Amino acid sequence: MTLPIGKNEYLMGSTPVFGYGVSYSELELDVALSGPVAEIVFDIEGTADLTDLLDSVIDTDFDRNELKRVLESEKKPENWRVGEALAELFLTCHKACCFPWPDGRDERKSGSSLPGADLVGFKEINDDAFFTFGEVKTSTESGYPPGAMYGRTGLKQQLEDLRDKVGIRDDLVRYLGHRAVTASWKDLYIRAFKKYISNNKSVHLFGLLVRDVKPHEDDLRVRVLSLGKDCSNEMSIELHALYLPEESISKLSEKVMATKREGAK
């Protein structure tokens, strides 16, 4: 999966907190949506694994159609969910992160909201592995910063909680651990866990804003300064504003659905 690096619009901050603004062209966005973003949104890898598991019980074309119906939801994803997938792809391509267990697999009801960080995974630096937790907000608001930054479920509060509350980090470490027991990425989890028990602040936190307005550093300026206060240098916090072409967020869902329909032909 690939995503262009985009155009650097601004950089601010100092260790351990940095803020970045990156913009994307219409072409760059469309290429991402037509391939890797759609793969994340529809969990193509997970669906393929389930298909392989159940293929042996399929006897008729009717059974095969039923298998496809159960495993491949036709529900149109929310635009914010596509924005979250775009943010995940950005971290995977450009920040050496991986998120091996999509949170959609934990939904007992399609479209339900799950507690905890939006993105839970790992970041590798040389031979070291660290737990990585990310929060994503997708906003079409014109103000800088958008309202999604504030409130009890805003990006500000979520990042402060991840920074300050070891209990929240512990919960996420356990959550990922239960899924690592028989996974191919078990060794990566063990390496990150060794780092974590030696220092529970030794994690990487990411806050991402997905926007469709003109880039402006006021989206991140105050948060970068405030998150840096009393933050341990053992912890790394990065805020990224991903600027899409204007008025494009409202079209994200339909574009990935078009990709899915094209792939089904």
pLDDT above 80 (res 33): yes
Residue 129, strand partner residues: 124
Q: What is the pLDDT of residue 148?
A: 96
Q: Among 43-47, 67-71, 235-239, 256-260, which range has the highest average pLDDT?
A: 235-239
Task: Report which of 124, 220, 131 is spatially closest to residue 168, judged by C-alpha positions.
Answer: 131
- Report phi then psi at 145, rounded to 5: -80, 170
170 has pLDDT over 80: yes
Query: Residue 150 — pLDDT band, cuts 50, 70, 90?
Result: very high
Residue 77 has pLDDT above 60, yes or no: yes
Confirm whether 1 is domain-assigned: no
- The residue-averaged pLDDT of 211-225 equals 98
Whether 67 is covered by a domain: the verdict is no
pLDDT at 139: 98
- Mean predicted confidence (pLDDT) in 250-263: 88
The answer to whether the Cα torsion of 158, 119, 260, 258 is positive or negative is positive
- Answer yes or no: are the C-beta atoms of 226 and 148 closer than 8 Å: no
Euclidean distance between CA atoms 46 and 155, whole angstroms: 29
Residue 221 located in a structural domain:
yes
Burial class (CB in 10 A: 0-12, 13-18, 19+), 15: exposed
Question: From the CB of residue 60, how many other CB atoms can be counted at a distance below 10 Å?
Answer: 8
Give a yes or no: residue 259 inside a domain: no
* 262 domain residue, yes or no: no
40 has a pLDDT exceeding 90 = yes
pLDDT tens-digit readout, 187-206? 999 999 999 999 999 999 99
The pTM assigned to this predicted structure is 0.91
Confidence (pLDDT) at 263: 60
**DSSP one-letter code for 5:** -
**Where is 223: in which H helix or E strand?**
helix 221-228
Number of domains in the chain: 1
User: Which domain range does residue 199 map to?
Assistant: 7-25+98-248
Band (44; pLDDT cuts 50, 70, 90): confident
What pLDDT, on a 0 to 100 scale, did the predictor assign at position 107? Answer: 66
Q: Is the pLDDT of residue 135 over 80?
A: yes
Q: Which residues contact 254 (CB under 8 A, 6 or more apart)?
A: 76
- CA distance linking residue 245 with residue 255, whole number of Å: 14
* Structure-token match 């790394």, residue found: 236
Q: What is the mean pLDDT of the chain?
A: 91
CB 136 within 8 A of CB 208: yes
Confidence of residue 108 (pLDDT cuts 50, 70, 90): low
pLDDT bin (cut points 50, 70, 90) of residue 46 is confident
The residues near 54 (Cβ < 8 Å, ≥ 6 apart) are: 67
Residue 144 has pLDDT above 90, yes or no: yes
Residue among 145, 146, 137, 139 at smallest CA distance from 219: 145
